Amino acid sequence: MDARTHAAYVERAMWQIGKGGLRFWGSVAMLGAIVLFGLYAYVYQLQRGLGVTGLNQKVSWGFYIINCVFFIGISYGGAMTSAILRLTGAKWRAPLTRLAEATAVAALLVGAVYPIIDLGRPDRVVNLLLYPQVGSPVIWDVVAISTYMVASVVFLYLPLIPDVALARDTLGASAGRVRRTLWRVLALGWRGTAGQQRALRRGIGIMAVLIIPLAVSVHSVLAWLFAVTVRGGWHSTIFAPIFVLAAMLSGVAAVILVVAALRAAYGLHAFITAKHFRYLSYLLIALGLGYVYFMISEYLTEGYVAEETSGAVLEALFVGQYATTFWTFAIAGLALPLVLAALPGRFAIARACVASTLIVGGMWLKRFLIVVPGMADPIMPWDWGRYSPTWVEIAITVGSAAAIPLLLIVFFRFFPVMSVHEMEEVEAPAEQAHAPAPAFAGGAE
């Protein structure tokens, strides 16, 4: 990268900071309205209780638990994308890591609220801390999600420090008081000395390693919420790994969508190119194929024996009342997008976006197909449950989904959208980038 491109990169990374204008405020107003309506629906539910949902005595978990798994899954994919690219020293990662890490935090903030939205007595949520029963998977979730929450915020923040300092130094003079103070405080006195660089590299390296087992644990624990019960289709040993893979798959797809949207919004075309989408698509395909394999393994072993409970659920999925949803997911939400992403040739970006949209939608459907039939499953073998969500659940779901882009565009009004420091790191002369994983360079010295 020559000096001109370098300057252009820095300019583009910070171009959107403080930019108001019709586009920004229009987006904020639109997304904000959707979020507010979701909030209104939640207040409505708070006042009247869970009776306003479609939940009932048989199907007592529905949209909220689905959304919890779905959004935390997306968060996980964001964090993993960034961690994997860092650890493997992929040089093309520079303009993407910030977007992936920010997506991880935004999706997690949304997903982590859902267990509370789902509570019958949210006013007693503190009981989880007062009387925790460590044998309960719910407590495992509380511990895992809160640990992961801290880790993903740190994982976003560490690489941000030098960029915040850059904003402080270059834009500080023209920015308002809020931004100036924010940058000064968050930059932690960063001046880019050798010692600081070393410490930062080490910190990022540790976080990139740490975030993987943390994210794996979060999604495994979420899976055990289901797998430790005796319900059909839930009580399965493959549940934790398949949840982890599903999370990564949906997360990478979500990252592709975020990257595409913000690339267009902030004019990052020169730096985020078809190449990036192609590489991310490879990741998507690898994860997708892994997921297909796990799924076949799960359904084959369960279906071949067709024990009464899981047999009934599988039948409902393949040919019964959930067949339409299931095959929509399997074909339009999994097979088709994988083919689309794998095709060679032109329109890589468009194909990646369409494939990702289908995968994100498909993975939501898959979570529906895990939670609802498992609940409706006649554990007393004679009656199936029924579930159809009300406007409250739909409004909260849509509102929470809109909160993610809202959080992102507000965040990037204050912070560089592409990591400048990261770019300088991967562009650094060979003697500094000799280690296969630059993230570890600090530790190696």
Partner 1 sequence: MTEGITRRRLLGGIGAAGAALVPIHFDPAGLAAEPKAERQWAMVIDMRRCDGCGDCTKACQTTHELPKDFEWIKVFEVKDTQGQKYFMPRPCMQCENAPCLRVCPTGATFRDDEGVVLVDQVDKCIGCRMCMAACPYGARYFNYAEPPKPKNAFAKPTPEFPVPQIKGTVGKCMFCVHKTDHGELPACVEACGMRALWIGDLVEDVATNGEDTVRLSQFLKESDAFRYKEELGTGPRVYYIAGHGQHLEY
Residues near partner 1, by CB under 8 A:
49-51, 53, 55-58, 60-61, 115, 118-122, 124-125, 127-128, 130-139, 142, 225-226, 228-231, 308, 375, 379-383
| Cα–Cα dist 341/343, whole Å | 6
Which residue, 304 or 382, is less far from partner 1 as judged by CB?
Answer: 382
Written as six digits, the tokens of 196 are: 């600081």
| Smallest distance from partner 1 to CB 49, Å | 5
Q: How many CA atoms lie within 13 A of 370 on its CB side?
A: 27
Q: Which amino acid is at 118?
A: D
Q: Whole-number minimum distance, CB 381 to partner 1, in Å?
A: 6
In whole angstroms, how far apart are CA 14 and each of 58, 164, 340? Answer: 52, 10, 33
Nearer to partner 1, 128 or 256 (CB): 128
Q: Considering beta carbons, is residue 130 or 430 the nearer one to partner 1? A: 130
Please state the closest distance from residue 109 (CB atom) to partner 1, in A: 20
Dihedral over Cα of 251, 256, 257, 261: its sign: positive
Name the residue nearer to partner 1 (CB basis): 135 or 429. Answer: 135
Q: How far is the CB of 266 from partner 1 (least distance, A)?
A: 41
Contact 152, 104 (CB under 8 A): yes
Contact 270, 95 (CB under 8 A): no
Dihedral of CA atoms 150, 24, 179, 403 in degrees, nearest 10, equals: -20
Q: Which residue has the tokens 């529905």?
A: 62
User: What does the DSSP assignment read for 373-429?
Assistant: HHHHS-SSTT--------HHHHHHHHHHHHHHHHHHHHHTTTS-SS-HHHHHHHHS-
- 């991310």: which residue's tokens? 280
What DSSP line would sit under 125-152, residue for residue? TTHHHHS--TTSHHHHHHHHHHHHHHHH
CB atoms closer than 10 angstroms to residue 195 = 9
Nearer to partner 1, 1 or 119 (CB): 119
Query: Of the two residues 125 and 323, which places its CB atom closer to partner 1 in the complex?
Result: 125
State which residue, 200 or 225, has the beta carbon closest to partner 1: 225
- State in angstroms the smallest separation of the CB of 110 from partner 1: 19
> Residue 208 Cβ, how far from partner 1 at the closest point, in Å?
31
User: Minimum distance between the CB of residue 127 and partner 1, rounded to whole angstroms?
Assistant: 4
Q: Determine whether 64 is exposed, middle or buried from the number of CB atoms within 10 Å of its CB (0-12, 13-18, 19+).
A: buried
Question: Within 10 A of 233 (CB to CB), how many other CB atoms are there?
Answer: 25
- Residue 60 CB, nearest approach to partner 1 (Å): 5
HSE of 295, CA atoms in CB hemisphere, 13 A: 19
Whole-number minimum distance, CB 309 to partner 1, in Å? 9
Give the residue with the Cβ less far from partner 1, 26 or 49. Answer: 49
Find the shortest distance in angstroms from Cβ 397 to partner 1: 18
CA dist 140 and 143 (Å) reads 5
Question: What does the DSSP 8-state code read for residue 438?
Answer: G
Q: Find tokens 């941000």 and name the residue.
A: 160
By C-beta, is 225 or 402 nearer to partner 1?
Answer: 225
Indicate the residue among 60 and 357 with the shorter CB distance to partner 1.
60
